[in-house]
Structure formats: structure tokens, C-alpha cells
Amino acid sequence: MNLLFKIIIPVFISCASFAQTSVKTVTFHVTGVCGECKERIENAADIKGVKKCTWDKKTKIVSVILDEKKVTQDQVEKAIAKAGYDTEHEKASEASYKKLPDCCHYKDPANQHQ
């Protein structure tokens, strides 16, 4: 039992101290206008490795908690752009944008909800 405390436990402790977390929070701009946009943006970011995604309608900032071992910020931005929304580094295709409901066409100045 004494051997356990002298050799094995310190090895486990030293290994644990070198372990690095791969979970981090990233934030970036996503263009949208309404509550429906919020739901679509957050759902689009619901991919493997994303722990949580929250988009703020007022600031147009999305906050994503992700596991870097499973997904990158670039992959999340591509998923959101595929759903029809422009992000900081990815632009939605015209086809994806046109699939959005009319009220979510953020490029139309008449659709700037409050």
C-alpha cells in the first residue's frame, strides 16, 4: 500500500497536470435579424464538437463553446454559412440565402427588425 502512494499516485498526478483542455469559447459576427434567425443560426452550429452556441440578435455576435479536438471555428462558420447566414469569415451562397424565409433576408433593409 505504501508503494502505491509513493510511486503510482504521483505518476497519475503528474499526468493530470500535463493534460490540457481542448474546450474553448470562440466569438464571431453572424448577420441575422430576428428570433427565427437566432434559432436557425444556433441549430446550424449544432455539429459534432460544439457544446453550446448562442447568438445575440442585438450585437449579432455568436458565442460557441467547442471542443478543438473535434471541430474548428472554421467548420462552425461554414455550417452557419451553409444555413444561409454570413459570418465573419464565411459568406452564405446566394442559393442558401434565398432559402431563408422572407423575414430573415438580412440583406433587405426593410427586414431590419428591432
Q: What's the whole-model pTM score?
A: 0.80
| Terminal CA-CA length for the chain | 67
pLDDT in tens, the chain (114 residues): 555 455 555 555 555 445 568 999 999 999 999 999 999 999 999 999 999 999 999 999 999 999 999 999 999 999 999 999 999 999 999 999 999 999 899 998 877 654
Residue among 24, 78, 34, 76 nearest 58 (CA): 34
Question: What pLDDT was estimated at residue 111?
Answer: 73
Instruction: Tally the C-alpha atoms within 13 A of residue 6's C-alpha that lie toward its C-beta.
Output: 3
Question: What pLDDT was estimated at residue 17?
Answer: 45
Question: What pLDDT was estimated at residue 109?
Answer: 81
Domain at 20-108, CATH class: alpha beta
Distances (CA, A) of 97 to 8, 18, 103: 58, 45, 12
Question: What pLDDT was estimated at residue 4?
Answer: 46
